[in-house]
Amino acid sequence: MKEKTKDKILRAARTLFSQKGFHGVKTQDIAQEANVNHGLIFHHFKNKESLWQATKESIATLYAKTHPTLDPTQPFGHFLDQFIDYYIHFYQKNPLILKMIVWQNIEFSPSKLPFGGTSDSFKHLISIFEGYQKKNAIHPNINVKFTLIFILTTIMTYVETLPPLLSKKEHIAYAYFLKESLKKLFEQ
């Protein structure tokens, strides 16, 4: 089956953005890598910023197609375990998204993010955690957005920096430690 033009562009953008960041890549570079006419990028994407965001979202979408989604109907402790396992696995299997996030943090102040600051995926996670907060599973004084940033950056750090430092047994123990520590954080 022939790869669609939009998919070629996204594949090329994933590669180049993860290697060089947003500012280090020209849309012409992406067109060349994708082997498509430069104008087709702007046919499929409003601008370079929307391509950056679509690239990050495409990584999450590709992963979600082959992995179970999170179930926000289960008790919060079980959901939190599933959430942490899901994102550990997601970041391990998708190192390009980690590289793009690092580039994003280097290149942009929060007020100058190319896509307005918060992705649809992150907004969805916030709504799930707010739902648990409304059910009193998360203390009302806890800022859900800050908590999600804390959890995700902790997982990213775990995936990016700890593998050479820990044995397989220690990886399992660390993931358990992370889950139990976060559960205690949410206790009321």
Q: Please name each of the domains of the chain with its CATH number.
A: 1-53 (1.10.10.60), 67-186 (no CATH)
Token couple for 30: 């992406």
Cα within 13 Å of Cα(169), Cβ side: 0
- Higher-pLDDT residue of 101 and 130 is 130
DSSP state of 4: P
Rounded to 10°, the helix 76-93/168-186 angle is 140
The C-alpha atoms of residue 79 and residue 100 are separated, in whole angstroms, by 27
pLDDT at residue 116 tops 60: no
**The whole model's pTM is what?**
0.75
Distance of CA 21 to the CA centre of its chain: 15
The C-alpha atoms of residue 168 and residue 18 are separated, in whole angstroms, by 27
Other beta carbons within 10 Å of 107: 14
Q: What is the pLDDT of residues 74-92, one digit of tens each?
A: 999 999 999 999 888 888 8
What confidence score (pLDDT) does residue 68 get? 77
Question: Dihedral angle at the C-alpha atoms of 110, 115, 117, 118, nearest 10 degrees?
Answer: -160
